[in-house]
Amino acid sequence: MTASILAGLAGAAALAASGVYLRYRRDLNAARARLAAVDRHVVSTRWGAVEYAERGSSNPVLVVHGVFQNCLSGLVSVRDLCADRRVIVPSRFGYLGSTMPPNATPAAQADAFAALLDALEIRQIDVVAFSAGTPSALQLALRHPGKVRHLAVLVGNLPGSPTAIVQPPWTKRVNRQFIMWALRTFAPATTARMVGAVPKEFVMSDNDVRYVEEFIDSLFPMYPEGYNFDLFVSNADVANYTLEAISVPTLIAHTKDDQLASHQASQRAAERIAGARFVSLESGGHLMIGQTKIVRDQVASFFAERRDSRAEPVAS
């Protein structure tokens, strides 16, 4: 009898696992179909293919996406921040259709951004960088200052942040895509709070939860070459940057309750960059939930300033 029960349980577990796997494959196929529907373009450079997506018109803005993202989720990130601009979002090295060149560095990524701008015949552009996109955006400002009109760093990975480290080697074996999919599928509310990196006491509205869930969906499928570059090379690289050498107008914004990157590290970075403006946000976590209007207004005002202007720190 016991053997029969155990056999039955094993069979049920196998069926359940099979069903989960089929659902996983179905959802990934749906994610690939969603990406296929996005109009994407590719520019050939000495670093390989640089893929990008864009929307809108008027003055261009270059958006540098964070970890696990790509050109599509980059568009989601700024949908309400730069609605009146021509938004150009490259997939960084190893993400989606962009090549992972040998011995890639954030400096090389910045040079690839510069090559993309040259191919698009854009002489100078405003830049918005999120989270793990910060190192390559800072390198763009350091290596190609003439191409950057203004630089806005939002919840950035900056020197001294807990994100600015190399991850333990064993984590390369972790199937992050399956783990994130399982959390998104079976514990969506918990996942929304985790990805948003907000404290437990932060109350998200239904609209907030829907936005975070849409953001999470935009991360699939995930690209190990890209996120391993961030986690094992790019994020830690920022610790060695001479921020004092940045000459382009810079705005840094960060939420005080971000449970992922460091508000304090962002403030210290702003103090090291001559004339940088620091925008301190009381709440909203790593996705700056509920802060869209403040961030949009601050970024728009900053981008409207003359390139040689400097602003005082701002608190909200």
In a domain, 130, yes or no: yes
Compare 229 and 6 and report the one with higher pLDDT. Answer: 229
Q: What pLDDT sits at residue 12?
A: 45
Residue 1: inside a domain: no
Single-letter amino acid code for the residue at 66: G
Q: Is the pLDDT of residue 255 over 50?
A: yes
Domain range for 88: 38-315
Measured CA angle at 84 (ends 280, 247), to 5 deg: 50
Q: List the structure tokens of 258.
A: 């971000």
How would DSSP label each residue in 29-87?
HHHHHHHHTS-EEEEEETTEEEEEEEE--SSEEEEE--TT--HHHHHHHTTTTSTTSEE
User: Is 93 strand, coil or helix?
Assistant: coil
- Domain CATH for 127: 3.40.50.1820
Q: Does residue 10 form part of some domain? A: no
- Give the pLDDT score at 112: 98
**92-130 tens-digit pLDDT:** 999 999 999 999 999 999 999 999 999 999 999 999 999
Question: Has residue 87 got a pLDDT over 90?
Answer: yes
Check residue 241 and give its pLDDT.
98
Q: What percent of the chain has pLDDT over 90?
A: 78
Bridge partners of residue 151, in order along the sequence: 127, 250
Work out the average pLDDT over 50-56: 96
Structural domain includes residue 12: no
Measured CA to CA, the distance from residue 232 to residue 236 in angstroms comes to: 7
pLDDT of residue 83: 85
Q: Domain for residue 185, yes or no?
A: yes
Q: What is the DSSP letter of 233?
A: I
**CB-based burial label for 175 (10 Å; 0-12, 13-18, 19+):** exposed
Specify the number of domains making up the chain. 1
Percent of the chain with pLDDT over 70: 91
The values of phi and psi at residue 282, to 5°, are -65, -35
pLDDT at 189: 85
User: Which of the four pLDDT bands, split at 50, 70 and 90, describes residue 307?
Assistant: low
Q: Is residue 173 part of a domain?
A: yes
CA distance 261 to 162: 6
| Domain membership flag for residue 227 | yes
Question: Does 258 have pLDDT greater than 80?
Answer: yes
Whether residue 21 lies inside any domain: the answer is no
Residue 221, pLDDT score = 95
Q: What is the mean pLDDT of residues 19-29?
A: 93
pLDDT at 17: 67
pLDDT of 200 strictly over 90? no
pTM of the model: 0.91
For residue 191, pLDDT over 70 is answered with yes
Distance between CA 128 and CA 150 in Å, rounded?
8
pLDDT confidence bin for 306, thresholds 50/70/90: confident
Count of Cβ atoms closer than 10 Å to residue 167 Cβ: 16
Give the Å distances, CA to CA, from 190 to 23, 198, 214: 20, 11, 14
**Comparing C-alpha atoms, which of 109, 77, 111, 110 is closest to residue 93?**
109
Q: Which stretch, 73-87, 176-190, 237-251, has highest mean pLDDT?
A: 237-251
pLDDT of 15 > 70? The answer is: no
